[in-house]
Amino acid sequence: MLEAKVSVVEPTGADILLRLPLGEQEITARVGPKCEGSPGERLALRVDMSRAVLFDAETEQRLA
């Protein structure tokens, strides 16, 4: 389980994108429309690795 503070909330219609600083990097979490995260709020997250998409931080190439 990860814990991170929400920096940006981006409603996209069907989903919501949450930007979360995690150490030196930032992750983007796609959550359902019922998620009520707001900027500054700390969230506990569980990653479904079967649905995760990973990118190289330097090249921005998709890894998995």
The string of DSSP letters for 20-61 reads EEETTEEEEEEE-TT----TT-EEEE---TTT---B-TTT--
Domains of the chain by start residue, with CATH: 2-45 (2.40.50.140)
- pLDDT for the residue numbered 15: 93
Instruction: Flag whether the pTM goes above 0.75.
Output: yes
Per-residue pLDDT of the chain (64 residues; tens, 9 = 90+): 889 999 999 999 899 999 999 888 898 999 988 887 899 999 998 888 898 888 888 898 998 6
Question: Taking the CB of residue 16, how many other CB atoms lie within 10 A of it?
Answer: 18
Beta carbons of 26 and 18 less than 8 angstroms apart: no
- pLDDT for the residue numbered 6: 96
